[in-house]
Homo-oligomer: A and B are copies of this chain.
Amino acid sequence: MNIITPTIKKLLETWLNEDIGRGDLTQLALNDDIVNAYWTSKQAGIFCGGDLVKYLYQSLDTSVIITLLKSDGDTMRAGERIIELSGPIPSLLAGERTALNIAMHLSGIATATKKLVSQLEGTGILLADTRKTTPGLRPLEKYAARCGGGINHRLGLDDAAMLKENHIAWSNGIAQSIQALRKSIPWTTKIIVEAETIEQAKEAASEGADGVLLDEMAPSQLQTLVPDLRKIAKKAAKEIIIEASGIDPKQIQKYAYTGVDIISTSAPITQSTWIDLSMRFSEHLPNK
């Protein structure tokens, strides 16, 4: 899926503007020479943000030329070259900070996701993100999670009807809520229930929920609950997706053999740190 949608284009222009403000004051001391530069990573990790950086620089100055040596999702070693650019010095410097900030942040998320995904390799369990995302960056942070090998949970409140703890508390119960939703939401949309207890999970399965989140349950609990839920769903002639959530990411391997389809965690987004990238200048081109 092409990440450069109209919404993302507008976002990138806003971000550029956030840094440039009323204009880059220091440009006044610079000449207009065309130079070559490159990006390099100071750490190993998963790269993310190349297409965004390319669009950002081109919206700043169409004469900047960018070659991506790594695609989003590629592994990068410490010291490796990632991007090569050439263009007028004032343009390269005016976009530098914003471009690096985007790629450093997103590469941090892709890298943290990859680490957890690796621990689930071979188990058939997918790693999903959550709606705990930095405000304004959700589509991009979820893209970074995909680049790290993860799968996305719903993108917003409009993307699936999910009965969470508080919804259940304030509605007329799981069964009635599922029936009410079935009649009012788009038929193309799934209904998912977050269960705090075994009883809630079983009710969700027997009422035909498309998915169930088992929140903060121990591996031992899951080992008996998961097959029970599959049986209940089968009886209702439904396939049910079972997700374990609220798990300490350090304990993730203990959940690898619980039979769940998906483990969701906000950690790659809320507990990750940036990957250190930097831009360096190589050689001087004759001014155009």
Tell which of B20, B97, B270 touches A273, judged by Cβ atoms closer than 8 Å.
B270
A171-B30 CB under 8 A given contacts A135-B105, A155-B158, A183-B151: yes
Which single residue of chain B is at the shortest CB-CB distance from A129?
A: B186
- A138 CB-CB contact with B under 8 Å: yes
A18-B135 CB under 8 A given contacts A29-B167, A29-B181, A184-B28: yes
A6-B29 CB under 8 A given contacts A131-B97, A271-B273: no
List, in ascending order, chain B residues with CB within 8 A of A146's CB: 184
A15–B2 CA distance with the chains assembled, in angstroms: 18
Which single residue of chain B is at the shortest CB-CB distance from A35?
A: B170
Tell which of B93, B169, B188, B190 touches A166, judged by Cβ atoms closer than 8 Å.
B93
- Contact B27 A2, beta carbon cutoff 8 Å: yes
The count of chain A contact residues (Cβ–Cβ below 8 Å) is 105
A189–B25 CA distance with the chains assembled, in angstroms: 9
Which one of A195-203, A221-229, A232-240, A250-258 is at the interface?
A232-240
Q: Digitize A124-161: 1 where CB-to-B-CB distance is under 8 Å, 0 elsewhere.
A: 00101001111111110000001000011111111111
- A220 CB-CB contact with B under 8 Å: no
A159–B93 CA distance with the chains assembled, in angstroms: 15
List, in ascending order, chain B residues with CB within 8 A of A217's CB: none
Q: Is the interface of A mostly helix, strand, loop or mixed?
A: mixed
- A13 CB-CB contact with B under 8 Å: yes
- A66 CB-CB contact with B under 8 Å: no
Knowing that A98-B135, A190-B190 are A-B contacts, what are 14 other residue pairs whose CB atoms are under 8 Å apart, sorted by A's residue number? A1-B24, A6-B17, A7-B22, A25-B157, A25-B185, A26-B162, A26-B163, A26-B167, A29-B163, A101-B132, A154-B189, A169-B281, A190-B210, A239-B239
List the 10 shortest-distance A-B pairs measured between CB atoms, nearest first: A21-B158, A29-B177, A15-B135, A160-B188, A24-B157, A21-B156, A270-B274, A152-B186, A25-B161, A154-B188
List 8 interface pairs A-B (beta carbons < 8 Å), by A numbering.
Answer: A2-B27, A7-B17, A7-B22, A21-B156, A93-B166, A105-B134, A151-B183, A187-B211
Q: Which residues of A contact B (CB under 8 A)?
A: 1-3, 5-7, 11, 13-31, 33, 35, 59-60, 89-90, 93-94, 96-98, 100-102, 104-105, 126, 128, 131-139, 146, 151-164, 166-167, 169-172, 176-177, 180-181, 183-190, 192, 208, 210-211, 234, 237-239, 241, 243, 261-262, 270-274, 279, 281
